[in-house]
Amino acid sequence: MHVVAVSIPTRPDWCWRIVNSAGEVIEESSQAYPSIARAVAEGRVRLGQMDVVDRSVPARPRRTTSHLRGR
């Protein structure tokens, strides 16, 4: 699980999101924070309270375009 901070253009503050390895949003804060650091710190606290195990499969990496370069 990962904690990320996001800012929405209509709101100048930051929110945290907890996402799994597949990139799916597990939970998002309803409260806004004045800084990225504060949002991530609060998200980490919440992640610790959740006590969950991430069993998701990471998204498949994008295929390179190296096979197209020789054309």
Asked whether residue 63 is assigned to any structural domain, the reply reads no
Instruction: Look at residue 71 and tell me whether its pLDDT is greater than 70.
Output: no
The answer to the question of residue 23 being in a domain is: yes
pLDDT band for position 26 (50/70/90)? very high
Q: Is 68 within the bounds of a domain?
A: no
User: Which residues span the domain enclosing 11?
Assistant: 2-52
Q: What is the DSSP letter of 66?
A: G
Do the domain assignments include residue 14? yes
Q: What is the mean pLDDT of the chain?
A: 88
pLDDT tens track for 30-63: 999 999 999 999 999 999 999 888 888 877 777 7
Domain membership of residue 21 (yes or no) is: yes
Asked if 15 contacts 6 with a C-beta cutoff of 8 angstroms, the reply is yes
* Domain count across the chain: 1
Indicate whether 68 pLDDT > 80. no
CATH number at residue 40: 3.30.160
Q: Is residue 57 part of a domain?
A: no
Domain membership flag for residue 40: yes
Give the pLDDT confidence score for residue 57 in this predicted structure.
83
